[in-house]
C-alpha cells in the first residue's frame, strides 16, 4: 500500500472518526463543510463530497465516499470534487469505496442516507447564507420513481409532464396533490406519500392539506376537480406519454481495460475474467455499460489513481455516457459485490486475524479500566426468545412421523431427519417454532418428507409459526439453546435409511454401547452443550476441543492443549449427563497411553492450531422480484422496518442464517414455497461470499415476527398490525393519524403435505425446576438431575417478563401459588368464568388415554369439563388459581394429568 499523501486538505482533519454523514461542498475552488442542519439539501449548480462511516458489528469502521455532481455545476468543480474524494480516501488509509453520483441518477446506496428522498434545489450553495437568490416558494411538480429508494425529479408544471406510469406530486401553497398513474405500483405510491409528508413538514410546517388523485378516477371528486383545474381543466393523458425516468437499453457487454501511466486504455484479452488478471501495482477499468468500475491496486501511487480517474472521465465523454453512467472506484481488497460478480470464481477470504486483533484491542480497553482480563472471552449467545418452553421431536419415517419419548428427544442420528416443535411464551401468548433437522447422511427422500410433515404440523397449530430448515453441523445457536443438551450419533433408525444401507451393502454405523465411539464435546455453557460423534480415528481430534472415547468397558476423556477451563467444565457435565456411573480415565494431549491410540487405530496428524473466532457479518436485506418462477434480488441499503412492504418478499441475509419474510399481501402462497425461495437465494450466492448451501433458513410472516428476527431492526410492534396495502396504510396515518390496528388473521397457507396430523399428544421436556431438560440421550445412559437454576440476568428478566420475581421462577413455590392480582391476564379470568355453562364429565372420560372418550368437546380445554371437586382433587389448586398461571405452566400441569 502506498503511504498516505502529506498534502491532504486540512478540512479532512478527523474525518471518519465517528459514525454518520459528513458532507463538504466545492465553493470558490475550495472545500467547505456543510452543517448537519443542511444535510440532504443539494444545489444543482454545485458539487459535493459525502463521507458515510458505519461502525460494523466486527468493531471495524466501513467508509463509503460519494461525490455528487449537480447538473449545472462547473467543469472545474466536478474535477475538483473527484480529486478531493480520492484525497479523502488517501487520508482514511485507502479503505473506502468511492462512488460518482450524478444528479437524477444517484445510486440507491446514496439515496438511503437521506430518507425519504433528496430534492435538488436550483442555484449554487453559499456558505455565507446557506441559500441562493431565487430560492423562494413556488408551485412545483415532481415525479417519483422507486419502491424503496426513491428518485424525485422536478418536471415542468404542465399537463404534458404527466403519464400513466409514474407517481406525481403537485406542491401548491394551500394543498399538496399526489397523482398516481394507473400503471404505477402500490409500493411506489406508498413511497411517494413519504415524500408528500417530507414536503409538508419542510415547506409547510406540517400544516398543508393533502389530497390523493387516481389516474382515470375523477368524476364527482372535488380534489380531482381542483387538481385538473390547475392544469386548465381535465383532458386525457396520451397512452404513450414517456416516463420522466426512461429506461435505457444496454447491451450488457463487459470489457476490462488496463490504464497506463499516460492514461491510455488497453483492452485486455477476451474470455472469462479472473482475479489473476488484476495486478497490485496497476489500475484497471471495467466497463459494464451502465456502470463503470475503476480498480486500483494496493501498490499503485496516488498519481496513478488520479490519472485513472481522468482517463475514465475522458472515456465516458468520448462514448457519450458521461451523464447517466455510474462510476465506482475500488481499492484492492475492498471490491463490492457488483464488481466481484463479473469475475469467475472470485476467491473468498475471511480475515479472521483482523477480527482477533480487534477483540484483543477491546480486551486491552477492559484492562485499562481495572478489569483483570488477559483476552476478551468468546461471545456467549444471549437467548433472544424464552428458552424455557416445551419441545417435541419427531423422527421422519417415510410418510409417517414417530414421536420420540422424552428420554430420547435429545438424541439425533446423522442418517435421519427430524421435526422439532418448540412452544414458548412470548408477550402473553404461546408461539410455535418448527425446525426440520437434516442429518448429513440422511436421504433426499426423507428430507422432502420432512418439509411436508413440518408444513402439516405448522398448519395444524393456531397462529403463524416460524419454520426453519437446518442441517447437521450448521445448526443456529438458538437451536442449541432450545435443546440445551444435544447429542448427535452416527447411523440412523428410520426405515428408509436402514433399507438404503442394506441394499448398498454399506456397514451399519448406528451407535450402540458395544461399539467404539468418539465424541467431540462443544458448547458455550451448561445450557448450550453438545456431544457430536465423529469417526473414531485420531485425525478427528483437534487441540481446541475435549473428547470422550468410549471403548466398551473403558472410557477416556481427552483434553486438548488449546481447550479452555470452560471446555473442561462442559466435559465433566457431559459425562455426568451421559452416565454418572462411568469411571473414566482423563488424559491430556501429549500424555496419551497406548490403549488410547490403539482404540483410534494408531496415531496420525490432526489440527493443533487454535481455532479463531469467525468475524461477525453485518446483515443485508434484499427484496425479491418474482418473475415466472424465478426471481431477481435488489439490496435495500440502511434498511428499516418501514422497508418491509406488505406486497413483497424479503431475504434478510445474516450470513450464518437467512430469513425469508413474507408480506401479508405478497403472492407467496405457502411457507414451503418460501423455503424454496430461500434455497434458491443460497444457490445464487448474491453477495459472492461463498455462502454455504446448508445455511439455516427461517420463514417469517408479516405481523408475526419473532424477537430473533426483529432484533435486526428498530422495531415498532404497532407498525406490524395495520390494515390494507402499503399505500392505504401510510395514507391512513398521514391523513387521519389513525392508530395501528390488529391486522385480520390470514390462514391461507397452502398445505404441501399429506394432510394427516401425527400423534397430537404433547410432550413436555421441562424438568421440575423449569430449566434443565431430562432424558436419556444414549441407550442405557442415565441423566443427571442435580443441576441448579441460576437467577436470570437483568436482560433475561426484562426479555422474559413472565419469569420476573413477581411471578416467581418456574417451578418455584412462588410460581405455584399463582400470579399477583394486578398481573392477571383478563383473558385468563374469562377462561375461568367461561366454564360455568359447560357440561360436566368425569376425569376418566376426559383424559387423552381414555377408553371411553367424550366426543364433541373442545379438546384444547379438557380441564374445563371437570367438576369443581374433581378439578381441585386432580390439580391440587383452585380453578381460578389455575387460570392465573402462565399458559405454558397450565399446559404442563395438564400434560401430567393426560389432559393435553
3-state SS track over 629-685:
CEEEEEEECCCCHHHCCCCCEEEEECCCCEEEEECCCCCCCCHHHHHHHHHHHHHHC
Q: Is 293 among the domain residues?
A: yes
Task: Quick: pLDDT tens for 411-444.
Answer: 999 999 999 999 999 887 889 999 999 999 999 9
In terms of pLDDT, which residue wins out, 135 or 746?
A: 135
Report the pLDDT value the prediction gives residue 184, as an integer from 0 to 100.
93
Asked whether residue 596 falls in the same domain as residue 669, the answer is: no
Structural domain containing residue 723? 620-735
Please state whether beta strands 167-171 and 175-180 pair in parallel, antiparallel, or not at all (unpaired): antiparallel
Asked which of 327, 342, 357 is the last residue of a domain, the reply is 342
Asked whether residue 219 falls in the same domain as residue 304, the answer is: no
Asked whether residue 624 falls in the same domain as residue 725, the answer is: yes
User: In sequence order, what are the beta bridge partners of 861?
Assistant: none
In the chain, the number of structural domains is 5
Query: Is 585 strand, coil or helix?
Result: strand
Given a cut of 70, is residue 245 above it in pLDDT? no
Cis before 116? omega within 30 = yes
Alpha helices in 484-603 (DSSP H): 495-504, 565-578, 594-599
Report the pLDDT value the prediction gives residue 835, as an integer from 0 to 100.
54
Q: Is 118 among the domain residues?
A: no
Report the pLDDT value the prediction gives residue 783, as an integer from 0 to 100.
33
Sign (positive or negative) of CA dihedral 48, 49, 55, 56:
positive
Across the range 857-885, mean pLDDT stands at 85
Given a cut of 60, is residue 772 above it in pLDDT? no
In terms of pLDDT, which residue wins out, 741 or 883?
A: 883
CATH number of the domain within which 198 lies: 3.40.20.10
Segment 152-160 long-range contacts (CB within 8 Å, at least 24 positions apart): 152/117, 152/118, 152/119, 152/195, 153/104, 153/244, 153/245, 154/119, 154/120, 155/244, 158/231, 159/231, 159/232, 159/235, 159/237, 160/241
Task: Quick: pLDDT tens for 59-105.
Answer: 788 999 999 999 999 999 999 999 999 999 989 988 999 999 999 99
Report the pLDDT value the prediction gives residue 415, as an integer from 0 to 100.
97
Q: At 853, give phi and psi (nearest 5°).
A: -70, 150
Cα–Cα distance for residue pair 897/761, rounded to 1 Å: 12
Confidence of residue 391 (pLDDT cuts 50, 70, 90): very high
Across the range 459-481, mean pLDDT stands at 93
Confidence of residue 689 (pLDDT cuts 50, 70, 90): confident
Confidence of residue 732 (pLDDT cuts 50, 70, 90): confident
Using CB atoms within 10 Å of the CB of residue 2, give its burial: 0 to 12 exposed, 13 to 18 middle, 19+ buried.
middle
Cα–Cα distance for residue pair 342/255, rounded to 1 Å: 10
Report the pLDDT value the prediction gives residue 858, as an integer from 0 to 100.
77
Asked whether residue 279 falls in the same domain as residue 331, the answer is: yes
Q: Is 167 among the domain residues?
A: yes
Across the range 667-683, mean pLDDT stands at 90
Q: Is 646 among the domain residues?
A: yes
Task: Quick: pLDDT tens for 798-846.
Answer: 222 333 333 332 333 333 333 333 333 444 444 444 555 578 889 988 8
Do 756 and 799 touch, CB atoms closer than 8 A? Answer: no
Asked whether residue 695 falls in the same domain as residue 594, the answer is: no
Cα–Cα distance for residue pair 788/809, rounded to 1 Å: 12
Q: At 823, give phi and psi (nearest 5°).
A: -105, 5
Confidence of residue 848 (pLDDT cuts 50, 70, 90): confident
Confidence of residue 239 (pLDDT cuts 50, 70, 90): confident
Cα–Cα distance for residue pair 804/674, rounded to 1 Å: 37
Given a cut of 70, is residue 376 above it in pLDDT? no
Query: Is 801 strand, coil or helix?
Result: helix
Percentage helix, strand, coil, to 5, in the chain? 30, 25, 50
Task: Quick: pLDDT tens for 199-223.
Answer: 999 889 888 999 999 988 765 688 8
Asked which of 342, 377, 412 is the last residue of a domain, the reply is 342
Cα–Cα distance for residue pair 723/197, rounded to 1 Å: 20
Across the range 10-21, mean pLDDT stands at 89
Do 709 and 700 touch, CB atoms closer than 8 A? Answer: yes
Report the pLDDT value the prediction gives residue 850, as an integer from 0 to 100.
83
Confidence of residue 35 (pLDDT cuts 50, 70, 90): very high
Q: Is 562 among the domain residues?
A: yes
Asked which of 342, 361, 387 is the last residue of a domain, the reply is 342
Q: Is 828 among the domain residues?
A: no
Strands (E), 273-354: 283-287, 291-296, 326-331
Cα–Cα distance for residue pair 823/814, rounded to 1 Å: 14
Cα–Cα distance for residue pair 533/495, rounded to 1 Å: 21
Strands (E), 61-200: 61-69, 96-102, 140-145, 151-155, 167-171, 175-180
- Sole residue written with cell 396533490: 177
Cα–Cα distance for residue pair 723/716, rounded to 1 Å: 16
Report the pLDDT value the prediction gives residue 575, as an integer from 0 to 100.
92
Quote the cell numbers at residue 353.
486475524
Q: Is 416 among the domain residues?
A: no
In terms of pLDDT, which residue wins out, 271 or 712?
A: 712
In terms of pLDDT, which residue wins out, 37 or 771?
A: 37
Please state whether beta strands 61-69 and 47-55 pair in parallel, antiparallel, or not at all (unpaired): antiparallel
Asked whether residue 650 falls in the same domain as residue 590, the answer is: no
Report the pLDDT value the prediction gives residue 428, as an integer from 0 to 100.
77
Of 12-16, 297-301, 491-495, 801-805, the least confident: 801-805
Strands (E), 28-80: 30-33, 47-55, 61-69
In terms of pLDDT, which residue wins out, 790 or 891?
A: 891
Cα–Cα distance for residue pair 155/244, rounded to 1 Å: 8
CA 438 to chain centre: 22
As a whole number, the mean pLDDT across the chain is: 81
**Closest residue by Cα to residue 218 from 236, 245, 195:** 236
Going across the sheet that includes 209-214, the strands are 151-155, 140-145, 167-171, 175-180, 209-214
Given a cut of 90, is residue 193 above it in pLDDT? yes
Residues 6+ apart with CB under 8 A from 754: 399, 452, 453, 456
Report the pLDDT value the prediction gives residue 218, as an integer from 0 to 100.
66
**Closest residue by Cα to residue 7 from 285, 302, 226, 296:** 302
Do 773 and 410 touch, CB atoms closer than 8 A? Answer: yes
Cα–Cα distance for residue pair 801/821, rounded to 1 Å: 16
Query: Is 89 strand, coil or helix?
Result: helix
Asked whether residue 225 falls in the same domain as residue 301, the answer is: no
Three-class secondary structure assignment of 185-252 = CHHHHHHHHHHHHHHHHHHCCCCCEEEEEECCECCCCHHHHHHHHCCCCCCCCCCCCCCCCCCCCCCC
Q: Is 357 among the domain residues?
A: no
Confidence of residue 242 (pLDDT cuts 50, 70, 90): low
Asked whether residue 274 falls in the same domain as residue 228, the answer is: no
Amino acid at each position: 500500500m502506498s503511504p498516505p499523501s502529506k498534502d491532504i486538505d486540512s478540512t479532512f482533519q478527523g474525518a471518519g472518526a465517528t459514525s454518520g454523514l459528513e458532507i463538504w461542498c466545492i465553493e470558490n475552488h475550495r472545500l467547505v463543510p456543510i452543517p448537519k442542519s443542511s444535510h440532504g439539501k443539494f444545489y444543482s449548480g454545485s458539487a459535493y463530497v459525502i463521507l458515510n462511516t458505519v461502525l460494523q458489528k466486527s468493531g471495524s469502521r466501513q467508509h463509503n465516499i460519494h461525490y455528487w455532481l449537480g447538473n449545472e455545476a462547473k467543469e472545474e468543480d466536478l474535477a475538483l470534487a473527484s480529486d478531493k474524494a480520492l484525497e479523502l480516501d488517501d487520508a482514511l488509509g485507502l479503505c473506502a469505496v468511492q462512488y460518482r453520483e450524478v444528479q437524477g441518477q444517484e445510486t440507491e446506496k446514496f439515496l438511503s442516507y437521506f430518507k425519504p428522498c433528496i430534492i435538488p434545489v436550483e442555484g449554487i450553495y453559499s456558505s455565507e447564507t446557506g441559500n441562493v437568490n431565487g430560492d423562494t416558494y413556488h408551485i412545483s411538480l415532481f415525479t417519483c420513481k422507486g419502491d424503496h429508494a426513491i428518485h424525485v425529479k422536478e418536471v415542468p408544471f404542465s399537463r404534458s409532464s404527466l403519464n400513466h406510469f409514474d407517481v406525481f406530486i403537485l406542491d401548491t401553497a394551500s394543498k399538496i396533490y399526489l397523482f398516481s398513474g394507473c400503471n404505477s405500483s402500490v409500493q411506489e405510491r406508498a413511497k411517494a406519500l413519504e415524500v408528500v409528508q417530507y414536503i409538508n413538514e419542510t415547506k409547510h410546517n406540517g400544516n398543508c392539506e393533502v389530497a390523493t388523485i387516481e389516474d382515470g378516477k375523477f368524476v364527482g371528486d372535488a380534489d380531482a376537480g381542483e387538481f385538473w383545474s390547475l392544469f386548465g381543466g381535465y383532458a386525457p393523458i396520451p397512452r404513450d406519454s414517456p416516463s420522466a425516468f426512461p429506461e435505457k437499453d444496454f447491451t450488457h457487454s463487459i470489457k476490462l481495460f488496463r490504464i497506463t501511466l499516460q492514461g491510455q486504455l488497453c483492452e485486455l484479452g477476451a474470455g472469462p475474467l479472473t482475479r489473476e488478471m488484476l495486478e497490485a501495482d496497476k489500475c484497471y477499468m471495467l466497463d459494464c455499460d451502465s456502470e463503470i468500475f475503476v480498480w486500483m491496486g494496493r501498490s499503485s501511487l496516488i498519481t496513478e489513481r488520479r490519472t485513472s480517474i481522468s482517463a475514465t472521465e475522458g472515456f465516458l465523454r468520448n462514448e457519450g455516457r458521461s451523464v447517466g453512467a455510474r462510476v465506482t472506484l475500488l481499492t484492492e481488497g475492498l471490491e463490492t459485490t457488483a464488481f466481484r460478480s463479473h469475475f469467475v470464481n472470485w476467491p473468498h477470504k475471511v480475515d479472521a486475524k483482523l477480527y482477533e486483533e480487534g477483540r484483543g484491542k477491546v480486551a486491552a480497553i477492559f484492562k485499562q479500566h481495572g478489569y483483570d482480563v488477559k483476552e476478551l472471552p468468546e461471545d456467549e449467545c444471549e437467548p433472544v426468545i424464552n428458552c424455557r418452553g416445551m419441545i417435541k421431536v419427531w423422527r421422519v419415517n417415510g410418510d409417517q412421523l414417530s414421536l420420540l419419548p422424552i428420554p430420547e428427544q435429545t438424541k439425533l442420528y446423522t442418517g435421519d431427519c427430524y421435526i422439532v416443535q418448540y412452544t414458548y411464551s412470548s408477550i402473553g401468548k404461546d408461539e410455535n417454532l418448527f425446525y426440520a433437522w437434516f442429518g448429513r447422511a440422511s436421504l433426499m427422500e426423507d428430507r422432502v418428507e420432512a418439509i411436508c410433515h413440518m408444513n402439516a404440523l405448522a398448519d395444524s397449530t393456531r397462529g403463524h409459526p416460524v419454520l426453519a430448515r437446518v442441517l447437521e453441523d450448521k445448526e443456529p445457536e438458538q437451536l442449541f439453546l432450545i435443546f440445551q443438551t444435544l447429542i448427535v450419533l452416527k447411523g440412523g433408525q428410520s426405515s428408509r435409511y436402514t433399507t438404503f444401507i442394506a441394499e448398498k451393502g454399506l456397514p451399519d454405523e448406528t451407535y450402540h454401547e458395544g461399539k467404539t465411539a468418539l465424541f467431540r464435546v462443544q458448547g458455550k455453557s451448561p445450557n448450550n452443550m453438545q456431544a457430536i460423534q465423529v469417526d473414531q480415528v485420531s485425525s478427528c481430534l483437534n487441540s481446541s476441543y475435549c473428547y470422550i472415547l468410549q471403548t466398551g468397558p473403558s472410557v477416556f476423556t481427552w483434553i486438548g492443549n488449546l481447550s479452555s477451563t470452560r471446555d473442561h467444565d462442559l466435559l465433566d457435565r457431559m459425562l455426568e449427563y451421559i452416565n454418572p456411573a462411568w469411571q473414566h480415565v482423563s488424559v491430556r494431549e501429549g500424555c496419551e497411553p497406548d490403549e488410547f491410540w490403539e482404540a483410534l487405530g494408531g496415531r496420525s496428524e490432526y489440527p493443533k492450531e487454535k481455532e479463531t473466532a469467525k468475524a461477525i457479518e453485518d446483515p443485508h436485506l434484499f427484496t425479491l422480484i418474482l418473475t415466472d418462477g424465478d426471481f431477481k434480488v435488489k439490496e435495500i441499503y440502511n434498511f428499516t422496518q418501514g422497508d418491509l412492504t406488505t406486497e413483497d418478499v424479503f431475504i434478510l441475509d445474516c450470513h450464518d442464517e437467512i430469513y425469508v419474510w413474507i408480506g401479508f399481501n405478497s403472492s407467496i402462497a405457502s411457507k414451503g414455497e418460501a423455503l424454496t425461495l430461500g434455497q434458491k437465494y443460497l444457490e445464487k450466492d448474491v453477495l459472492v461470499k461463498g455462502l454455504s448451501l446448508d445455511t439455516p433458513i427461517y420463514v417469517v410472516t408479516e405481523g408475526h415476527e419473532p424477537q430473533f428476527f426483529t432484533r435486526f431492526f428498530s422495531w415498532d410492534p404497532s407498525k406490524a398490525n395495520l390494515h390494507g396495502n402499503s399505500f392505504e396504510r401510510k395514507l391512513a396515518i398521514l391523513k387521519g393519524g389513525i392508530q395501528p390496528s390488529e391486522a385480520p388473521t390470514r390462514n391461507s397457507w397452502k398445505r404441501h403435505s399429506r394432510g394427516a396430523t401425527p400423534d397430537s399428544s404433547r410432550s413436555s421436556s421441562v424438568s421440575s425446576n423449569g430449566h434443565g431438560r431430562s432424558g436419556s440421550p444414549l441407550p442405557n445412559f442415565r441423566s443427571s438431575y442435580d443441576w441448579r437454576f441460576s437467577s436470570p440476568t437483568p436482560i433475561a428478566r426484562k426479555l422474559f417478563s413472565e419469569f420476573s420475581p413477581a411471578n416467581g421462577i418456574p417451578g418455584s413455590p412462588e410460581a405455584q401459588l399463582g400470579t399477583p392480582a394486578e398481573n392477571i391476564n383478563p383473558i385468563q379470568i374469562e377462561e375461568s368464568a367461561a366454564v360455568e355453562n359447560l357440561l360436566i364429565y368425569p376425569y376418566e372420560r376426559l383424559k387423552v388415554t381414555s377408553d371411553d372418550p367424550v366426543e364433541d368437546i373442545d379438546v384444547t380445554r379438557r380441564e374445563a369439563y371437570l367438576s369443581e371437586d374433581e378439578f381441585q382433587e386432580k390439580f391440587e389448586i383452585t380453578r381460578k388459581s389455575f387460570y392465573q398461571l402462565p399458559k405454558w405452566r397450565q399446559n404442563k400441569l395438564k400434560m401430567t394429568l393426560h389432559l393435553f
